[in-house]
Structure 1
Amino acid sequence: MRDFDWRSWLSRLARLWRTSLQLRTVAISVIMATVGVSIIGAYMLISVGSNLFDSRRDQLLASSERAAVSVQNVFSAAAEQGGSAELESAMVDAFDLVSRSNATTGGTFIAILRSPDQEGPRVPGDLASTPSTVDLIGPDLRETVAESADTERRMYWQSVSIPSESGNGDPGIVVGSSITIPSSGVYELYLVYNLSDAQQTLDFVQRTLVLGLLALIVLIGAVTYIVVRLVVGPVRLAADVSQKLAAGQLEQRIPERGEDVIATLARSFNAMADSLQHQIVRLATLSQVQQRFVSDVSHELRTPLTTIHLAGDLLYDQRENFPPETARTAELLHAQIERFEILLADLLEMSRYDAGAVELTTEPTNLVHLVGDAIESVSSLADSKGSPLRLIAPGGYFEAEVEGRRIRRILQNLLSNAIDHGEGRPIIVYVDSNASAVAIAVRDYGIGMSPQAMERVFDRFWRADPSRQRTTGGTGLGLAIALEDAALHGGRLEVWSAPGEGSCFRLTLPRTHGAALADSPLELPPDDTEPQGLDPNDTNPDGLDVAPSKDTYRELQSGKGDDD
């Protein structure tokens, strides 16, 4: 048999306690009711028991006092007649008289004992119902009763346990008083009363009270459960409906019943849902119109753009035969037509993302080789800006399931932005990996961005400095498309920047398509104090420019290194 998993059970109970308002409300109500009922019940039990005992004790003391008076009268009458025989006979008569009287009040045993340390004959002798009766009388009680003979005579009592057949003992009390027999001295009268009947009554009252209090606690719990269910039920229903609305089921509504506060909440919620549905449908329709417009315009522009492109290429090829002004115009026309084609392609790509029509085709790809290809494609542009490119790749799990065309597009966009804003300083590309993820970071040391610019850097058609001259002539959609490409792979594209310190874009991808993405293997920005480049002794088949040493890397950071 398996051991009971207490930790798992407590964890499930704690989670249920956190998530269930109904459970917490009922449990707190029952606990508070239990505490309150326990305090009240304990007070009632103590009060009932004390009052029952006090009333029974007072009754027995009064009965004992009458019995003591009767015994005193019997001995006084016998003493007037004189003689030991009369006193012995009076002892028996008094004993019988008290026995009959004691039986009517629940008495069990009787003892008439001569007080110790008295002079004169012991006539009559001691008499008790049983030999064990004397054992029930405590020495303290005997001493108190004996001392009361010289003062005002009173009834004294003591609680005792009377042996019973069950062996547990019955509760009882012993009542004692002193009597005086002329010519014989002071005697003590002890009456033993069994209180088992009173104890049975008290037990019955206690059981009844405990059962009643338990029933009251159960009733309070049931009432609390019903009330909380009436209140929590509509709230839970509202939560379920709101989740369905958030999931896109805009037709879901809360049933409206009655005219109470819950019904008012349902009507208000449904009115809000109607308004949201109307707005969402209107915005969705508008978005579809906009997407269709962009897609249609982009498709329709391709045909005239192709014609313009052919005519522009013809003019561009013949520019040497034109006058200088006309030749310059042909060159500008050719550049703007190419930029127009790039913008049109980006618009078509964004329209496919907006329509959810993009499909990903992945295959195992070595990202170091992919980064090398991207660096090679922008090397001439970097040379023209005076920005040396460096690749640092210390990891070992460089292969990942990606679509190479989209990742290469992301890298080319990030590298082009770094060259445009790098101020001619070195641009470092980091590639690192672990068993589950691959990360690529493009770090420049140019002008950087403000926190406000970082928040909008991935917005469409947004530029940090619109007045700044761009070498690459971008469309303003590159980073937005790169962000969509990264998300399509299940990855993340993040940015760090600081004014005057440059910028760093980090792309993190899962090595297996569809796997959950955890922490990135690279920091943002990467630690560039002591970079570990590729091994300078290894042959570089891709012709990549790697940092051969720390000293060379520091020179590159300061802008003094060569471009080899």
Structure 2
Amino acid sequence: MNQTSGHRIVAWMKSLGHPRSWGRRRIYTSLQARAVSLAVLLALIFGVVFSLASLLSIRNSLQDQVSAQAQRDFSNQVARVQEGLDAAQMEDQQQYQSLITNLASSFQNDGAVNLVGVFMWGSGRTANSVLVPVSTDPTVASLISESMRSAVSGGSCGGVCYQPINLKSQTHDRAPGAVLGTVLNFSALGDLELFAVYSYASQQQSVMQIQLSMLIVIIVLCLLLGIVVWCVMRSVIRPVERVAVAAESVALGQLNARVDVNRHDEIGILQRSFNEMASSLDEKIEELEKVGTFQRRFVSDVSHELRTPVTTIRMASDLLESRKSSFEGSTARTVELLSGQINRFEKMLADLLEISRYDAGYAAVDLVEGDLRETVNSAVIQVGQIAEAKGVPIAVLLPQDPVISSFDSRRITRIIRNLLINGIDFAEGKPIEVHMACNRQAVAIAVRDHGTGMAPEQLAHVFDRFWRADASRARTTGGSGLGLAIAMSDARLHGGGIELRSAPDLGTCFLVTLPRDGLHEVPASAQPLRFRGDEELDPVDASGAGIYAGRSVAQADRKDDDRGDV
């Protein structure tokens, strides 16, 4: 394996991350994985609880059974030994000792299979007994506790005493067992204490085998349940995923995207419904496109057709304008109104023609390198008479050094002019401020008025075609409602854009951002000016300082302002 392949494998492993975090992300993002995990977890919990309850019940049942069996076996053997003692007729101690040894061996041989050993000795109530203790297993005596001996010798058990103990077995360090004890009547030499030790190791082994078997069954059942749920969820999720992919394709504009209808259940209903919805949507969009195309063509054709009669009307109006001095006062005033309305009509036709070019995709920029300050000044001069008539002063603050950029002078002039006219309409005699800042990548131009402003619900429609705020409908300078829409289109055609902030009674600020090369979009980090927040009307420069705060109009009009590029 070469070094490049090794780096790729390491990068792939890093992208996967820790298995635990990858599995957690998979569960969070996949319905199929979540359903399988939940089903397996619930099955595992149920299996563990059921197995624990079953094992506890089985263990208690086996323990009670083997305990009862040991007690029955002990009682039977005790009765047989007692009969042997009662029938014995011995003359000396040696014969009695031999009899007890034989009885212990017989007890061991004839007892149950789980009988570990037998221990017999003289009772504490016959302290003068000279019998030697007898044991079939040397370890039995050590398993009999003092409390057990006291209980047997004292007769507190009422017959047979029972005490659970732990034994050492070949397969386990600790195996359950029990010690049973009683007192035998031996009239010749006194009473005898008899103890028998029983082991429950085989029953414990059976419980362990049952536990292992149940564990294997639980694991297998969980795996099978997980596989079944996975397959069921896969049969449901895969068709839904195909529908989702088709929906994304439709959202991206691929209106011919469809899904195969291969089921007859609820998923099949979803597939058919999606196809019907996509077909209906395709038809509606085609109808809307036809209507839109017809409307755009109608506007374009009407605009072109109106240019000829408007030109003729303009010629007649100019002729009347040249002879206005010879007319009466009312007639001369009518000629002036006619000339003004014809000018407005010509501007409206020009806007409609420009909109039709954008709709047809014929709009293009004629980039020429030049000083953008001259274009801004030209736009200010063009609206100077309108601003003077309205009593609205315009303060212009431009960098001292030339701002050389590639731009379409006609379109940039139109952007600034439209923004200024909009500001004049809403300024209500208050000043308008124009500020420019630039850096190596972009140029920003802010047009700020302090007029009526707009409500938040109006801001979303400012750049809509033919939309005008109610506050300006009665104004004589009001246009067709296309100026701001054309301004936004011109800015986007340069790779830039226009941002807007406004508030009632506080005014409005438009912020135009343009790339200096006229081609590439301007990232947010490279903007010379930006708004501080949604409620902040005055933009700030790149360092965060306000460009209008604390500055009067008179200061803005000073020619020796020392502000340069931001």
TM range (shorter): 0.7 to 0.9
Shift of 1:128: 1.4
Is structure 2 residue 530 aligned with structure 1 residue 521? yes
Task: Report whether the alignment pairs 1:285 with 2:290.
Answer: yes
* Equivalent residue letter for 2:264: E
The SS at the match of 1:222 is helix
Residue number in structure 1 paired with 2:475: 469
**What is the identity, as a one-letter code, of the residue corresponding to 2:113?**
T
One-letter identity of the residue aligned with 2:160: R
Of 105, 124, 133 in structure 1, the residue corresponding to residue 140 of structure 2 is: 133
Match of 2:92, as an amino acid? G
SS of the counterpart of 2:510?
strand
> Residue 425 of structure 2: SS of its match in structure 1?
helix
Aligned twin of 1:215: 220
Offset of residue 210 of structure 1: 0.8
Using a 3 Å threshold, how does the CA distance of structure 1 residues 67 and 224 change in structure 2: closer, same or farther? same
Query: Residue 456 of structure 1: SS of its match in structure 2?
Result: coil
CA distance in 2: counterparts of 1:188 and 1:157, whole angstroms: 15
Give CA-to-partner distance per residue, 1:219-244, whole Å, 9 cap, x none. Answer: 22222222222333332222222222
* Corresponding residue SS for 1:22: helix
1:246 matched to which residue of 2? Answer: 251
Q: Which residue of structure 2 lines up, in the alignment, with residue 195 of structure 1? A: 200
Match of 2:127 among 96, 119, 125: 119
> 1:426-474, CA deviations, whole angstroms, 9 ceiling, x for partnerless residues?
1123446789876543221223334554443333223224652334x63
Give the SS at the match of 1:65: helix
Paired residues, number: 541
Q: Structure 1 residue 33 and structure 2 residue 43: aligned?
A: yes
1:229-378 pair list within 5 angstroms: 229-303=234-308, 305-306=310-311, 309=314, 316=321, 331-359=336-364, 371-378=376-383
Match of 2:115 among 98, 107, 116: 107
Q: 1:198 to 1:409 in 2, by over 3 A?
A: same
Give the Cα–Cα distance (whole angstroms) in 2 for the partners of residues 198 and 556 of structure 1: 103
Seen in structure 2, the aligned counterparts of structure 1 residues 74 and 531 have a Cα distance that, compared at 3 Å, is closer
> Is structure 2 residue 84 aligned with structure 1 residue 74?
yes
Tell me if structure 1 keeps the 8 A contact 2:120–2:133. yes
**Does the 8 Å CA contact 2:162/2:181 hold for their aligned counterparts?**
yes
Q: Which residue number corresponds to residue 543 of structure 1?
A: none
The structure-2 alpha-carbon separation of the partners of 1:357 and 1:137, relative to structure 1 and needing over 3 Å to count, comes to farther
1:76–1:439: structure 2 CA closer, same or farther, 3 Å change rule? farther
| Other structure's SS at 1:105 match | coil
1:410: Cα distance to partner? 2.0
Is contact 2:461–2:467 with CA below 8 Å preserved after alignment?
A: yes
- Using the TM superposition, name which of 517-526 and 269-278 deviates more: 517-526
**Alpha-carbon shift at residue 153 of structure 1 (Å):** 0.9
Relative to the length of structure 1, the TM-score reads 0.81
Give the 5 Å matches for 1:30-179.
30-78=40-88, 80-102=89-111, 104-116=112-124, 118-123=126-131, 125-148=132-155, 152-164=158-170, 168-179=173-184
Greater Cα shift, 351-360 or 3-12: 3-12
Aligned counterparts of 1:320 and 1:76: Cα–Cα separation in 2: 164
Does structure 1 residue 478 correspond to structure 2 residue 478? no
Which letter does structure 2 place at the counterpart of 1:95?
A
* 1:422 and 1:446 in contact (8 A); partners too: yes
Any idea what SS the aligned residue of 2:447 has?
Answer: strand
**How many Å separate the matches in 2 of 1:267 and 1:255?**
9
Query: Aligned with 1:185: secondary structure?
Result: coil
Q: What residue number does 1:540 align with? A: none
CA contact (8 A) 2:148 2:161 kept: no
Distance 2:369 2:82 in 1: 119
Kindly tell me: are residues 109 and 341 of structure 1, through their superposed partners in 2, closer, same or farther at Cα, counting changes over 3 Å?
same
1:530 & 1:225 partners in 2: Cα distance? 57
After superposing the two structures, state which structure 1 stretch, 215-224 or 488-497, moved more: 488-497
CA contact (8 A) 2:125 2:191 kept: no
Deviation at 1:556, TM superposition (A): 8.5
Distance 1:460 1:299 in 2: 19
1:439/1:522 contact within 8 Å kept:
no
1:412 equivalent in alignment to 2:417:
yes
Distance 1:400 1:173 in 2: 102
Match for 1:100: what amino acid?
N
Shift of 1:344: 2.5
Read off the aligned partner of 2:95 and give its amino acid letter: E
Per-residue deviation at 1:55?
1.4
Where do 5+ consecutive residues of structure 2 fail to align? 1-5, 561-566
Instruction: Show the counterpart of 1:542.
Output: none
Paired amino acid for 2:77: A
Kindly state the Cα deviation for residue 349 of structure 1 after the two structures are TM-superposed: 2.1
Preserved CA contact (<8 Å) 1:401 1:513: no
**Distance in 2 of aligned mates of 1:372 and 1:76:** 138
Alpha-carbon RMSD: 4.1
Read off the aligned partner of 2:423 and give its amino acid letter: A
The Cα shift of 1:98 comes to 0.9
Change (3 A) 1:233 1:297: same
1:383-532 aligned at under 5 Å gives the runs 383-391=388-396, 405-431=410-436, 439-451=444-456, 453-465=458-470, 467-471=473-477, 474-488=479-493, 491-508=496-513, 513-514=520-521, 516-517=523-524, 521-523=530-532, 526=536
The Cα shift of 1:529 comes to 12
1:257 Cα deviation after fit: 3.4
Distance in 2 of aligned mates of 1:435 and 1:117: 115
Q: Which residue of 1 aligns with 2:3?
A: none
Q: Structure 1 residue 131: deviation in Å?
A: 2.6
Matches of 1:118 and 1:395, distance apart in 2: 128
Helix, strand or coil for the counterpart of 1:474? coil
Provide TM-score, normalisation by structure 2: 0.81
- Give, as a single letter, the amino acid of the residue that structure 1 aligns with 2:79: V
Distance (whole Å) between structure 2 residues aligned to residue 67 and residue 486 of structure 1: 111
Pairwise CA distance, 1:485 = 3.2
Change (3 A) 1:358 1:178: farther
Between the aligned residues of both structures, percent identity stands at 35
8 Å contact 1:388–1:563 — kept in the other structure?
A: no
**How far 1:350 moved relative to its partner?**
1.5
Q: Decide which of 22, 25, 33 is 1:23's aligned counterpart.
A: 33
Q: Distance in 2 between matches of 1:62 and 1:434?
A: 104
Deviation at 1:259, TM superposition (A): 3.4
Q: Which moved more, 1:153-162 or 1:4-13?
A: 4-13
Q: Which moved more, 1:385-394 or 1:60-69?
A: 385-394
Cα separation, partners in 2 of 1:388 and 1:145, compared to 1, 3 Å: same
Contact residue 156 and residue 177 of structure 1 kept, 8 A: no
Structure 1: how far apart are the matches of 2:270 and 2:421? 55
1:370–1:408 contact (8 Å) kept in structure 2: yes
Per-residue CA shift, 1:21-75, capped at 9, x if unaligned?
Answer: 2222222222222222221121112222222222122212211121122222222
Alignment check: 8 A CA contact 1:363 1:402 kept: yes
The 1:91–1:45 alpha-carbon spacing in structure 2 relative to 1, beyond 3 Å, is: same
2:139 is paired with a residue of what secondary structure? helix
Deviation at 1:478, TM superposition (A): 0.3
Q: Structure 1 pair 485/143, CA: closer, same or farther in 2 (3 Å)?
A: farther
Residue matched to 2:564: none
